Amino acid sequence: MISLVCKVLVTEAPLEAPPIEVEPAIGAAVDFFGIVRGSEDGREIEGIDYEAHREMAEHQLRKIVEQATENFGLRQVFIYHRIGFIAVGEPSLFMRVCSPHRNEAFRAGQWIVDELKKKVPIWKRPNFKANVVAGVGDAGSEPGSTIPATAK
């Protein structure tokens, strides 16, 4: 019997893809990086502050992996989500799914990210760039502007 290799991590460290080490049953490995883009709700940002209830986030991620494994026949799943300030252009999410066939790997990857955004307690607060219009500025995030990571 083939066992599942699973690694779930919520970390402040920069994200990197681990080396690909596959077993004979794996025919597809799909990597995904979620990268902080330069705007949020039509406004330029410097980056995003991510916060999480780390233990609960990792617990929910493991539950998602269990369901994805059952639904898509996965052999390996890696999900790393970064917390803290992440600048534009840096990854906040890394995910790898491995399965016997590419169709399941692609479908599973999309399903996992969709479920993560719905269920995992990770919140984001964009750091907006200063607005230099007629001397009026936005010195950063607006009070109360925390957006659940599930919103985007």
Domain limits, the chain? 5-14+25-129+147-151
Assigned token pair, 40? 């949020």
Residue 4: what pLDDT?
80
* pLDDT above 80 (res 151): no
* pLDDT above 90 (res 144): no
Confidence grade of residue 148 (pLDDT, cut at 50, 70, 90): low
Among 88, 80, 94, CA closest to 36: 88
- Report the side by side order of strands in the sheet with 91-99: 5-11, 76-82, 91-99, 28-35
**Which residue matches tokens 């705007």?**
39
Separation CA 135–CA 132 (nearest Å): 6
Q: What is the largest CA-CA distance in the chain?
A: 67
**Which tops the pLDDT comparison, 148 or 4?**
4
| CATH class given for the domain over 5-14+25-129+147-151 | alpha beta
Confidence grade of residue 1 (pLDDT, cut at 50, 70, 90): very low
Residue 143: what pLDDT?
40
Assigned token pair, 79? 């999900």
**Average of per-residue pLDDT across 41-53:** 96
Residue 147: what pLDDT?
55
Above pLDDT 70, what percent of the chain?
84
